[in-house]
């Protein structure tokens, strides 16, 4: 299983930030793509940096480790999807 500590920003495909108790389709949050506009790239970097700061609470999606999640507070979920 891959550890988020070993992930570099250039491996990130997209990020999601939204409600923790909902799906991650974008209806209750925001998806931002690493190859998007300036605002999207900033959101990707900010979310990536947040997970790095909170690394003790970051969870992987299992053996493939293609995404990592962080739940903050009661209703906030942050997801980093890898390429």
Each residue's pLDDT tens digit, 9-63: 999 999 999 998 888 877 889 999 999 999 999 999 999 999 999 999 999 987 6
Number of structural domains the chain divides into: 1
What strand order describes the sheet that includes 59-60? 29-33, 12-19, 76-82, 67-72, 59-60
What value does the mean pLDDT take over residues 79-83? 93
pTM exceeds 0.85, yes or no: yes
Cβ partners under 8 Å of residue 44, min gap 6: 9, 12, 14, 15, 32, 33, 34, 36
Range(s) of the domain holding residue 75 = 4-82
């Amino acid at each position: 299983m891959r550890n988020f500590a070993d992930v570099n920003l250039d491996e990130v495909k997209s990020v999601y930030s939204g409600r923790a108790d909902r799906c991650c389709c974008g209806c209750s949050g925001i998806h931002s793509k690493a190859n998007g506009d300036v605002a999207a790239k900033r959101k990707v970097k900010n979310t990536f940096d947040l997970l790095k700061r909170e690394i003790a609470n970051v969870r992987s999606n299992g053996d493939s480790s293609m995404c990592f999640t962080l739940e903050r507070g009661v209703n906030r979920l942050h997801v980093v999807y890898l390429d």
